[in-house]
Structure 1
Amino acid sequence: MSGYDAVVLAGGAARRLAGVDKPGLLVAGVSLLDRVLAAAAGAERIVVAGPRRNTRREVVWVREDPPGGGPVAALAAALPLVRAETVVLLAADLPFVPAALIDRLVAALEPAADRGGECAGAVAVDADGRDQILLAAYRTAALRAGVAALPEPAGAPLRRVVEPLALRRIRADSDAVFDCDTWADVRGARARSGRMDTAPTRRDMTGLEEWTEAVKQELGIELDVDIAALLDMTRVAAHNVQRPAAPLTSFLVGYAAASRGGGAAAVAEALRQARELAERAGAEPGAR
């Protein structure tokens, strides 16, 4: 199989996710972006268009002009850095895209696959027959020509670049094309990965999960929060001591976990200790 480069578009506004850094959201402890980068590990060079982030793999960073200018602006910024004749174009929110599918897409552009005439791209197709143009391999020259033909890349839809091309379509399974556009999608990805241990028991748990993710992104925290355990601890503290004990104890639990090195295990142990202390307080004579 010929070599290829990869371009990952990671600069969207994530409006349906309250503006959080979507590529940085964790699924089974790994960011969405790192999951996509792992699938594209066979690339000779990976160019990521979007804000610079910490990643597990070495990549080349580029920013679309203007920032937030959309997928075509991001592609226009990334293509000058592509060296290979074939480029795989990927969204940064595909948690389960397999490397084998990327290999199939690239192989579909090989000369031996072009017996019916040369094609300019090979796109993954979902079960409903829809083209996944951000999960595809293209001839680099064809993409460059398509972008150059537009009067203004910023704000232009990517389909204006891709639809005129002769494409080969590759059927992909539902996991491979699964993307995370909404909080429901994120929760679904975590459930599929086996990291959702407890289902929400109240309707407002959905809002709490969304708020927790927003706070984690704002503070730069990478931690799977056991919301149910945290709420249980604060409930016991508020009931057995007094209501202001709940937020105060939550702060102290976080501080204790951080002072012990951080991580899920440190948080769980601090939660356990605080809950047991609150239970003992409720059992003392004179406790309300």
Structure 2
Amino acid sequence: MRDGHLEARPVRLAAVVLAGGQARRFGGRDKPMVAVGGQPMVGRVLTAAAEAGMAPRVVVGPPREGLPAGVVVVQEEPPGGGPVAAVAAGLAALDAEAGVAARRAGDLAALNAEAGVVALRAGDLAALDPEAAVAARQASDLAASDAEAGVVGLPVLDAEVGVGLPVLNAEAGVGLPVLDAEVEVVALLAGDLPWLSADAIERLVGALGESDGAVFVDESGRRQVLCGVWRARALREAVRRLASVQGASMRALTEAMNVVEVRWEGGRPPYFDCDTEEDLRRVIDDE
């Protein structure tokens, strides 16, 4: 809370990068791994997503060496099943990541009873030791303002006893806070966008509002659906509506969704994708 007003809760963001396909017009090369400015194109996309605060980041495609640490790699089923199959695989990977986080929070919460005993002991000791009481209050203040610190606990040392005792979430007193692991907004990004930037992604997130999605449109007004951000819940519902994800088009996936169209002004378009060798030469010449 600041100046008597509740601060807006941060929206949890993630990125799903589609990096499969056959690249038939690219001489059979692994197009997302072709370097531009010394970095693979898919690496540039992942960097932009990270700088825009997106985590986790999922790449849908075959296993590759040289991807940034912490990136989750999954394969659509069947391999080569098309962009919607890749989107479904990416969403499933995000759900799996959220499940891991929830289980970790659950494991911590399962220690509730023991933590409560420790908290009481810490309180008893602090009451007997003014120095420990000060340290406890300072640690509690930090734990209350820092969610991560509240999860791991902050040690309070009792000088007389010489034993470290964890201070738990100050508001709850006992137990550990449960993390909100569910991703709310997902960026769907092609793996061959060499001019994508964090600024472009942030512009899309800012335009999203209450809509299901926000995408860039090119000069002709065509939606660039693999350079957009989407409500995760709306995406999941759209996937469920399809009879089959295999071979389905992105248009079929998104046609019933409420989408904001964003025009890019100010330089190289972030939605420009390298479909051909000629596109790549254009990008390299502009570097």
Q: For residue 96 of structure 1, what is the amino acid of its counterpart?
A: W
| 1:190 to 2:250 alignment | no
Note the C-alpha offset of 1:139. 0.5
What is the TM-score with the length of structure 2 in the denominator? 0.62
Alpha-carbon separation, structure 2, partners of 1:69 and 1:80:
15
| 1:56 to 2:155 alignment | no
CA offset digits 1:106-146 (Å, max 9, x no partner): 1223xxx4xxxx31001111222211100000001111111
Alpha-carbon separation, structure 1, partners of 2:196 and 2:214:
15
| 1:47 to 2:58 alignment | yes
The runs of 5 or more residues in structure 1 that have no matched partner are 194-288
Question: Partner of 1:267 in structure 2?
Answer: none
| 1:176 to 2:275 alignment | no
Question: Partner of 1:273 in structure 2?
Answer: none
CA offset digits 1:70-123 (Å, max 9, x no partner): 1011111110222411101000000011111101111223xxx4xxxx310011
Q: For residue 36 of structure 2, what is the amino acid of its counterpart?
A: V
Note the C-alpha offset of 1:57. 4.1
Q: For residue 270 of structure 2, what is the amino acid of its counterpart?
A: A
Question: Partner of 2:217 in structure 1?
Answer: 125
Alpha-carbon separation, structure 1, partners of 2:80 and 2:33:
16
| Aligned ranges 1:1-288 → 2 under 5 Å | 2-41=11-50, 42-53=53-64, 54-82=66-94, 83-109=182-208, 113=209, 118-173=210-265, 174-193=268-287
Cα distance change of structure 1 residues 128 and 57 upon mapping to structure 2, 3 Å threshold = farther
Q: For residue 97 of structure 1, what is the amino acid of its counterpart?
A: L
The runs of 5 or more residues in structure 2 that have no matched partner are 1-9, 95-181
Question: RCO greater where, 1 or 2, for CA within 8 Å and sep 6 or more?
Answer: 2
Alpha-carbon separation, structure 2, partners of 1:34 and 1:145:
29
Does the CA contact (< 8 Å) of 1:70 and 1:156 recur in 2? yes
Question: Partner of 2:175 in structure 1?
Answer: none
CA offset digits 1:204-256 (Å, max 9, x no partner): xxxxxxxxxxxxxxxxxxxxxxxxxxxxxxxxxxxxxxxxxxxxxxxxxxxxx
Does the CA contact (< 8 Å) of 1:25 and 1:32 recur in 2? yes
Residue identity (%): 47
Alpha-carbon RMSD across the aligned residues, in angstroms, is: 1.3
Question: Partner of 2:103 in structure 1?
Answer: none
Q: For residue 33 of structure 1, what is the amino acid of its counterpart?
A: V
What is the TM-score with the length of structure 1 in the denominator? 0.62
Alpha-carbon separation, structure 2, partners of 1:3 and 1:152:
28
Alpha-carbon separation, structure 1, partners of 2:85 and 2:271:
23
SS in 2 for 1:132: strand
Alpha-carbon separation, structure 1, partners of 2:39 and 2:234:
33
Q: For residue 72 of structure 1, what is the amino acid of its counterpart?
A: V
